[in-house]
Amino acid sequence: MQVGSYKRFYFPHPGFVAHKLVLRLHGSTDIPPLATVDTLTATGSYLDFIFAPRHLHALSLVGLHVQIPPSGAEGNGTKYLSGSSGPNTTVVDQITADQSELEVTAERGKPPVRFFIHTLTLRDVSGSKPMSYEVAFRNPIPVGELRAQGRLGPLKRSDLGSTPLSGRSTLTDLDLGVFHGISGKLQGENSFHGLLSRVEITGSTDIPDFRVGEGQPEHLATRFHAYVNGMEGSVALDRVQAVADRTRIDVSGDIDRKRGSRFAFQVKSGRIQDLMRMFARDGAPLTGAAVLHGDAFVPPEHEHFLKALQMSGTFVLSDLHFTHSQTQQTIDGFSQRASGTAPKKKNADMVAPTVLSELKVQRVVLRDGVAKFTDLLFAVPGANADGSGTFNLLNKQVDVMGTLRMDTNLSNATTGIKSFLLKPVDPLFKKKQNGTVAPVHLSGTYSHPMVGLRLPGDKK
């Protein structure tokens, strides 16, 4: 350790002040110092000098800067704690290190991660028993404020991961916007206990304005149970229950800062509108019941969440109603004509009864912002269509090809001049019994879809 200057004092309590302290790993000067301190003040008492010579009343550190080398680098890890494994009999009643900084050096070419510590207080500090702590700091990624208090130790120098840890913490205003493609401000609280290498955490979070891309803000609340490896920076999500309005999403998985994050998710009985609002700029286009499950992977580093997200799964949407009135009226009218129950010409102005739709997808795979569907089935009374295709989550382009089946002839499912023009091609798509089987193509965009009939000879 290097000390710039040192001065003792005796009144009203004995102690000393040291300036410009530099702590190096085993005196090595070819790597940055582990810690620097602008000013260190130690205060004792005269009675301690007589009865407890290894006892200090207080240590105050001003301008503390701790630098942790990158993972895998020479001198990284807990090596700086090595030394005598015997018990340390020195006791400090209280250590404070306000306005400090912890800097974790990243891998080559990447900026360091800095934790700005507003307040830090340790009490009953010794090498043989637990100490209590209170800390408030600014989290770097995502940016937000954290407060924690609890018990730590005694430190296991030969195996730091076996050091006991417990306490409670609160999180405020964590800005999720740092993960490009999602946004929202997170609040949370939790309690934890265990060892540094396996800390069991139970808690909750609340995001009143969560959204993906240009979606609408959605209130997203979670309750979770997880295990954290403080030595590796990884998290095992044992159980997460996320609630969006009236829909619960069950999630489990792992978060690893090097290998990325993997999740399994399911919705047993939810509402599609609760899930779609956070993705849709103009609100959910559908209401109805939703059942889904799948797996997702997010790489450790990415420029945009929707581009990076990899997902596969299946879903069933039932009792669907389109929120855009014109779209729903079109579906209603088509269902009525496809089932052969359309009113006669003299009653042509009658409004078709409202029908509910169903959408099933046996498998969807998302890569690079594009969802690929297979075994897709859309059904309304009187008609159904199956097929496969893609949907681009970034530009909202739709491209689906499939087969349409109706209870009536093709010409009967249309009105006006279209019905007259389609009569000659009815035999091409007619089933043995009354009805139609015809290839169709869905294209356009999410907000302006176009449905067309693929006639024989059309290019695929």
Confidence (pLDDT) at 240: 96
pLDDT at 157: 74
Residue 78, classified by CB atoms within 10 Å of its CB into exposed (0-12), middle (13-18) or buried (19+), is middle
| Tens-digit pLDDT profile for residues 70-84 | 655 554 444 544 444
pLDDT for residue 22: 92
Cα torsion 425, 428, 434, 440: sign: negative
For residue 107, the model assigns a pLDDT of 66
pLDDT confidence tier of residue 296, bands split at 50, 70 and 90: very high
The 10s digit of each residue's pLDDT in 439-460 is 888 888 766 777 666 544 445 5
Token pair, residue 431, equals 């089933």
Closest CA to 183 of 211, 208, 217: 211
Q: What is the pTM of this model?
A: 0.81
| pLDDT for residue 399 is more than 50 | yes
Q: 317 is written with which tokens?
A: 């949407």
Comparing CA positions, the residue from 421, 451, 212, 419 lying closest to residue 311 is: 212
The whole-number pLDDT of residue 74 equals: 52
Q: Look up residue 345 and give its DSSP letter.
A: G
Query: What kind and span of H or E run contains 383?
Result: strand 383-392
Mean of pLDDT values over 135-152: 93
What's residue 394's pLDDT? Answer: 84
Highest mean pLDDT among 58-72, 75-89, 230-244: 230-244
Contact indicator for 231, 196 with CB cutoff of 8 Å: yes
Please write the tens of the pLDDT for every residue from 346-360.
Answer: 555 567 789 999 999
Minimal CA–CA distance to 437: which of 374, 387, 362? 387
- What is d(CA 15, CA 39) in angstroms, rounded to the nearest whole number? 13
User: Which residues have a Cβ under 8 Å from the Cβ of 46 and sit 6 or more positions away?
Assistant: 13, 14
Distance CA 227, CA 108 (A): 29
Judged by phi (left if over 0) then psi (alpha if -120 to 50, else beta), residue 91 lies in: beta
Pairing assessment for the beta strands 35-43 and 55-62 based on DSSP bridges: antiparallel
